[in-house]
Amino acid sequence: MFGRRSATEPPEEDPAVVEIEAILERAAIRSPSGDWRGRALHVVSICACVTIEASPGWTLFDTPDGVGWLRWPDGLPDPDFVQVPLHAGGHAAPADVLAWLKGESADPWGAVGSGFGDTAAIINLQRRFAGA
């Protein structure tokens, strides 16, 4: 009543999620990765938990053929990418992920998130996904 959620309703999704996934999907359609198993070159795993709204996590990757992405928890768990040559990951606000995908930020972690891993994975995947 009066627009308030009950304690049992999940929080609303962060408004940046829809735009993030539209960018990811356009890039994957434009340049599909094909089968990623044993072929992924770079992986960036993003836990978009730095928000009060609900937000999924994402695994972004590329292969010699193109790019792909998976949404957590429905997508691929991190252990499946352990053998990838270059990997980065961390925690981010969805708005910072969106800025990174648009080429407005050097990484998806922003001022309040935290990341680790290979910078080359972050740079390469941003180039491949940006502009979609």
Q: Which of 13-27, 37-51, 61-75 has the highest mean pLDDT?
A: 13-27
**Confidence check: pLDDT of 75 > 70:** no
Name the one residue in this structure whose structure tokens are 């941003």: 126
**Residue 75 belongs to a domain:** yes
Is residue 11 one of the residues assigned to a domain? no
CATH code assigned at 34: 3.30.1050
Q: How large is the average pLDDT for residues 63-88? A: 78
Q: Once rounded to an integer, what is the mean pLDDT over residues 62-71?
A: 94
**Which amino acid is located at 13 in the chain?**
E
- Beta strands per DSSP E along the chain: 42-47, 57-62, 67-71, 86-91, 114-117
Confirm whether 4 is domain-assigned: no
Q: Domain tally for the chain? A: 1
Q: What is the largest CA-CA distance in the chain?
A: 52
What does the block give as tokens for 33?
């990765």
Mean per-residue pLDDT, 105-110: 94
* pLDDT beyond 90 at 7: no
Please tell me the distance from the alpha carbon of residue 25 to that of residue 95, in angstroms, as a whole number: 17
- Domain containing residue 105: 16-129
Is residue 5, in this structure, part of any structural domain at all?
no
What's the pTM? 0.86
**Range of 37-46, 78-87, 90-99 with top mean pLDDT:** 90-99
pLDDT band at 91 (very low <50, low <70, confident <90, very high): very high
